[in-house]
Structure 1
């Protein structure tokens, strides 16, 4: 490697590390006011220019990032806990309940109280009869082998968004986006068996074999998905409600299908961009690898 290329590589790595610090800070402080000047200091960049660089890396303004992450956290808390709505609002950085209700309604199509009672997660806490009557579309696919670069994540699966945000910046820095690019999340553990803090997952980008060989450098790791026959559940809706689809896939579809699941991690492909898409319109394919006799 020439001295010039070494310098470029070191400069790129510096940008990646600085934006990772910003992403980490934002995810860990969603309940606080986030000041652009303070974030510029965390990034060690000029307050005048740093936000323009951030937007070019991540494809959205910092304000849009914060709003998206706060509302994702709010939806998860509404679906998974019985916290009072005022407490959920404060935990997501909205000290004013009226503004929280207005913003949440504009994105999720209903106010927080109604979402808690009528969101798609509710029907799956009901009786088995109701669950079995719910239908998702499942298609059978022969999947070709995939080469991936990814960032591992440990903890609540809903927290993998932090790894995806970091991956977005690194991929932009290393110019990894191209015709092979697809966004994949791998989930190794069953949340009903493994403690939340120990759940293992990985935020990944599909790349070419050449890109994988050249770019599997810290913090990115190389992963491969083998060619296989898969049942693919086509889900539409908020990520916070996706556990409902898993319950149906494993509890209703699989026992009636005549297939056996292979001893391979489930993975998801995200078909549209949460930075540009309403949570209600997010489309995700859930891949369950099947055992072939």
Structure 2
């Protein structure tokens, strides 16, 4: 499959996931999702399952419950959470929630929320990477689409993708870019630059959610949690899950800030 066709496939999937994310409180049907993807129901379901390794309606159910968990941690009551996550009654919601998390919504509501971030210090070995700059494309998602499509086109299995980005003053910085680690035996990726990232001691901030900590915020966290001073160098971001196909409230990323 050509790079252009793989990019189009990723864009179709992202349209579907965006639709799901914005309509979780509504009745989401397979027909509606197929329409968003501009495919027949039969071809869409197969296309989706091959790409994301689960059916569309399993994704809907999983994201509804993940959003419900976040709302309960924020203090929302069970009834309003059920309705805002697309369940017809609190009872139906409670049964589905218990099957997924092993506790009732009321118990989850009283538990401590997951921390927004965790801070540590680690040695980051140098890594060889292929890189595409963000400035060459209209947005970071398009850059990741392009780089990962090129990797898929070269026969690199998704299991081998270790996806990073280089971030300096922000995602619109001309020197920032999307990277995929070049593992031993991985073939060259046409159109991508080869380089290296990492090396040395770094502050590591595991960040949960869709927003991104700024480099100044990372430096503040370094001082507050470690007492160590940051060193000159680029901030690196390692995506724990797919930065494009993961729901905003489920995204995890590890930010690495060089330390002296």
Which TM-score tier does this pair reach, normalised by the shorter chain?
Answer: 0.5 to 0.7
The SS at the match of 1:227 is coil
- Counterparts of 1:203-222 in structure 2, within 5 Å, are 206-208=180-182, 214=191
Following TM superposition, by how much is the alpha carbon of 1:223 offset from its aligned partner in structure 2, in angstroms? 11
Structure 1: gaps of 5 or more residues: 125-135, 154-163, 190-201, 217-221, 241-248, 276-281
Q: CA RMSD for the aligned pairs?
A: 4.7
**Is 2:119–2:203's contact at 8 Å kept on the other side of the alignment?**
no
TM-score (norm 2): 0.63
Structure 2: gaps of 5 or more residues: 170-175, 210-217
Q: Distance in 1 between matches of 2:58 and 2:77?
A: 25
TM-score (norm 1): 0.57
Structure number with higher helix proportion: 1
Q: Distance in 2 between matches of 1:113 and 1:268?
A: 35
Cα–Cα, structure 1 residues 253 and 111, in superposed 2: closer, same or farther, change >3 Å?
farther
Counterpart of 1:270 in structure 2 is: 240
The SS at the match of 1:230 is strand
**Is 1:57–1:172's contact at 8 Å kept on the other side of the alignment?**
no
Q: Distance in 2 between matches of 1:228 and 1:206?
A: 19
Number of residue pairs the alignment of both structures matches: 229
Kindly provide the CA deviation profile for residues 89-137 of structure 1, in whole angstroms up to 9, marking residues without a partner as x.
2111122211222222232332222212113448x9xxxxxxxxxxx89
- Counterparts of 1:1-293 in structure 2, within 5 Å, are 8-79=2-73, 81-121=74-114, 138=120, 140-145=122-127, 146-147=129-130, 152=140, 174=153, 175-177=155-157, 180-183=160-163, 206-208=180-182, 214=191, 225-232=197-204, 255=224, 257-262=226-231, 265=235, 267-270=237-240, 286-292=254-260
**Is 2:119–2:225's contact at 8 Å kept on the other side of the alignment?**
no
Following TM superposition, by how much is the alpha carbon of 1:257 offset from its aligned partner in structure 2, in angstroms? 3.6
Cα–Cα, structure 1 residues 255 and 48, in superposed 2: closer, same or farther, change >3 Å?
closer
